[in-house]
Amino acid sequence: MLPLAAFLVHCFPLALGHYDICKSWVTSGDSPSWEYHACQPKPMFMKGYAMVKVEPPGITCGDPAEYFCTHENPYLCSDECDAANRDLAHPPRLMFDKEEDGLATYWQSVTWKRYPEPLIANITLSWNKSIELTDDIVVTFEYGRPTMMVLEKSLDHGKTWHPYQFYADDCMEAFGMMSNKIRELTTDNAKRVQCTEEYSRWAGSKKEKNVRFDVRERFAIFAGPDLRKMENLYMAMERVKGLKEFFTLTDLRIRLLRPALGGTYVQRDNLKKYFYAISNIEVIARCKCNLHASSCNFRDGSLQCECEHNTTGQDCGRCKKNFHTKFWRAGSYNPAPRGSPNSCTQAGTILDTNPILRISDPPPMKEVKENTAIQVSTIPPVLETKLQHREIPEKIRAAPPIHKELTLTPSSGRKHSKKASPKGSIILESTPAIVMESSVKILKSCECLGHSNRCSYIEQLNVVTCVSCKHNTRGKHCEQCRLGYYRNVSVGLDDKNVCVECDCNQMGSWHDRCNETGYCECKSGTTGPKCDECLPGHHWIEGCKPNMCDEELLICQNGGTCHYGQKCICPPGFKGALCQHAKCDSNHRNCDSASNALVASALVLICTLMLSVVYI
């Protein structure tokens, strides 16, 4: 088994040939430079990197020591399993060890002494890393293969599990499923989960030991017999939804549901011959690195891709910090044989593999102006004529790098009329109009600081501009914040939290927009960055209202108390805004001696007038 697997691992990359380097140094032409390719690590023996769990507890034999026998020799039950004795113990690690001299070492379960209770065991292998199968999974059973078993996989580190394949000597009886042969699968159902009887038949425990999950047979559906056309498989992985994921996993679980029965019914008088014994679990796979790494190493307790193309993360699943000009994308097998790296880039650099149009760096935000004329110089003559067409002319793509001096385009829709300047460059002038959408072509590759992956080519302007900017951004490169948001200057323009909501207080501010430092525009009497505080002499009542009474100038008279700055609560017998008037009814006699009150109210009036002058 092992020499064969080693051979496969060795010849596999050779057979595939492609996608094994991420970059090459190209010296043709004037200046040598790196050329980037899609790349993937070589297949590895994954059993050496797995964490293993055997459940339920106590399922491993030997504690206490027990005797067992085999189907071939059912009445000679002199074999012993004893966890305390190194020579007689069968711990889980023996499923993953290196076997010397062809001597099988194996994990073994307790015998079926509790029959008819089912003898069930789960063996779970966890990699804490997504891996992609490149060869059959082979589980080797000593003393007979199980008559019921399920292989399950997880793609999310064991949170959810999905059946991968069902195995039984009678699929209908065991799982209520039709039995299918792997070699009958076709391109349409290559990723079907099915039940097979091929690996559960009794054929003598020495003769047929292996239970397979057929990866190569499935590959062969696309790559042909002997996997001679691997490029067809790779193209299918790109094209057929879910095909790549079908071979991807982070964890595997072998659910052993019924042991080998020796070709007959369970014999209750001799349960010592029913148990599971696994000598090897071979999983040959490569690290999933999203075609951004050609090697994968065991570091800090788990496998890690050595990411290239300015990507990072365990699976190279993200762009490196400050390399978010475009959305992260996996590398692509297309076009064969070298694929596309789909590298992450820094602002201002555009990948040579996809030169649609060169555009300038996103200008700093303070230079953003409306109505800026756009000057395009040294344009090859071909561009001028081809600009009439709706599509980006092929010639432009192939043309030598066009040097352009672009300042920012107007942020709102404006149509530009074009006329040739004397020196052969084109000056585009702004004229107000909004008919742009019809002449816009959606492009795939553009610089949007990671806030969008869609751009439009606007032919009248000859510019590429981002569309559908996310994360509350806007602008040609999604480099500005939407109205109602402001820039957090302590993070980069490519950060998804770069735009912070203004969060202006609805009552206290005129609108929900703010200036560059997040200050809202406050109504009179209101202050604070968000307009949720009151100036002195004001009180918050659905916004800041000038005080009607207070403790200094607008003092409530005659023992009245000021209620939230808005109202004097007068004692019985007094009325008026500051309780300055005595009530003149039959119960209150001193309303004729009103001269004091009059003086007071005159004072109040003057004060109020003065105050309103101050605060208006």
Ligand X SMILES: *[C@@H]1O[C@H](CO)[C@@H](O)[C@H](O)[C@H]1NC(C)=O
CA distance 272 to 602: 112
Can residue 108 be called a binding residue for Ca ion (CB under 5 A)? no
Q: Which does 94 bind (CB under 5 to 8 A by kind): Ca ion, ligand X, none?
A: Ca ion
Site string for ligand X, 336-365 (x = CB under 6 A): -----x-x-xx--x----------------
Can residue 94 be called a binding residue for Ca ion (CB under 5 A)? yes
Can residue 105 be called a binding residue for Ca ion (CB under 5 A)? yes
- 367 vs 516, which CB is nearer to ligand X? 516
Site string for ligand X, 306-325 (x = CB under 6 A): ---xx---x-----------
Stretch that binds ligand X, among 175-183, 296-304, 454-462, 585-593 (CB under 6 A): 296-304
Stretch that binds Ca ion, among 87-95, 171-179, 235-243, 580-588 (CB under 5 A): 87-95
CA distance 168 to 175: 8
Q: Which does 270 bind (CB under 5 to 8 A by kind): Ca ion, ligand X, none?
A: none
Six token digits for residue 471:
């994360």
Number of residues that bind ligand X (CB under 6 A): 30
- 5 vs 597, which CB is nearer to Ca ion? 5
Interface residue with ligand X, options 12, 45, 161, 540 (CB under 6 A): 161
Q: Any idea what the Cα angle at residue 217 is, between residues 100 and 179, rounded to 5°? A: 100
Site string for ligand X, 239-278 (x = CB under 6 A): --------------x-x-----------------------
The CA distances from residue 140 to 136, 144, 146, 281, 398, in Å, are: 12, 9, 11, 6, 57
Q: Which does 105 bind (CB under 5 to 8 A by kind): ligand X, Ca ion, none?
A: Ca ion
Stretch that binds Ca ion, among 7-15, 71-79, 93-101, 259-267 (CB under 5 A): 93-101
Can residue 210 be called a binding residue for Ca ion (CB under 5 A)? no
CB of 455 to ligand X, least distance (A): 19
Per-position DSSP letters for 179-227, written without gaps between them = B--GGG--TTTTT---EESTTT--S-TTT--EEEE-SHHHHHHHH-GGG
Interface residue with ligand X, options 132, 136, 142, 152 (CB under 6 A): 152
Can residue 189 be called a binding residue for ligand X (CB under 6 A)? no
Cβ neighbours of 82 (radius 10 Å)? 17
CB of 107 to Ca ion, least distance (A): 8
- 94 vs 119, which CB is nearer to Ca ion? 94
Can residue 128 be called a binding residue for ligand X (CB under 6 A)? yes
CB of 22 to ligand X, least distance (A): 8
- 261 vs 531, which CB is nearer to ligand X? 531
- 39 vs 548, which CB is nearer to ligand X? 39
Q: Which does 194 bind (CB under 5 to 8 A by kind): Ca ion, ligand X, none?
A: none
Interface residue with ligand X, options 84, 382, 442, 491 (CB under 6 A): 491
Name the nearest CA neighbour of 469 among 491, 490, 447. Answer: 447
Name the nearest CA neighbour of 464 among 376, 532, 382. Answer: 376
Stretch that binds ligand X, among 175-183, 232-240, 303-311, 457-465 (CB under 6 A): 303-311
**Residues within window 7-66 making contact with ligand X, judged by CB under 6 A:** 36, 55-56
Can residue 515 be called a binding residue for ligand X (CB under 6 A)? yes
CA distance 215 to 229: 15
Can residue 279 be called a binding residue for Ca ion (CB under 5 A)? yes
> Residues near 180 by Cβ (< 8 Å), separated by ≥ 6?
192, 194, 195, 196
> Residues near 69 by Cβ (< 8 Å), separated by ≥ 6?
75, 76, 77, 78, 79, 270, 272, 273
Can residue 490 be called a binding residue for ligand X (CB under 6 A)? yes
Q: Which does 253 bind (CB under 5 to 8 A by kind): Ca ion, ligand X, none?
A: ligand X
User: Is residue 535 exposed (0-12), middle (13-18) or buried (19+ Cβ within 10 Å)?
Assistant: middle
First to last CA, the chain: 92
Stretch that binds ligand X, among 65-73, 400-408, 511-519, 599-607 (CB under 6 A): 511-519
Cα 113 to chain centroid, rounded: 49
- Helix-helix angle 216-223:230-239, to 10 degrees: 90
CA distance 442 to 456: 4
Instruction: Tell me the pairing of strands 454-458 and 463-467.
Output: antiparallel
Six token digits for residue 276:
């599971």
Q: Which does 36 bind (CB under 5 to 8 A by kind): Ca ion, ligand X, none?
A: ligand X
Interface residue with ligand X, options 248, 372, 488, 601 (CB under 6 A): 488
Question: What is the amino acid identity at position 524?
Answer: S
- 105 vs 353, which CB is nearer to Ca ion? 105
- 142 vs 494, which CB is nearer to Ca ion? 142
- 102 vs 116, which CB is nearer to Ca ion? 102
Q: Which does 255 bind (CB under 5 to 8 A by kind): ligand X, Ca ion, none?
A: ligand X
Six token digits for residue 489:
């200057």
CA distance 573 to 560: 11
Six token digits for residue 233:
């498989």
Can residue 120 be called a binding residue for ligand X (CB under 6 A)? yes
Question: What is the amino acid identity at position 75?
Answer: Y
- The answer to whether residues 68 and 81 touch, using CB atoms and an 8 Å cutoff, is yes
CB of 351 to ligand X, least distance (A): 6
> Residues near 597 by Cβ (< 8 Å), separated by ≥ 6?
557, 580, 581, 582
- 94 vs 289, which CB is nearer to Ca ion? 94
Cis bond upstream, residue 64 (ω within 30): yes
Interface residue with ligand X, options 24, 73, 187, 302 (CB under 6 A): 302
The CA distances from residue 240 to 233, 236, 341, 447, in Å, are: 10, 5, 20, 29
Query: Which chain residues interact with ligand X by CB under 6 A?
Result: 36, 55-56, 120, 122, 128, 152, 161, 253, 255, 300-302, 304, 309-310, 314, 341, 343, 345-346, 349, 488, 490-491, 500, 515-517, 519
Query: Which chain residues interact with Ca ion by CB under 5 A?
Result: 94, 97, 105, 279
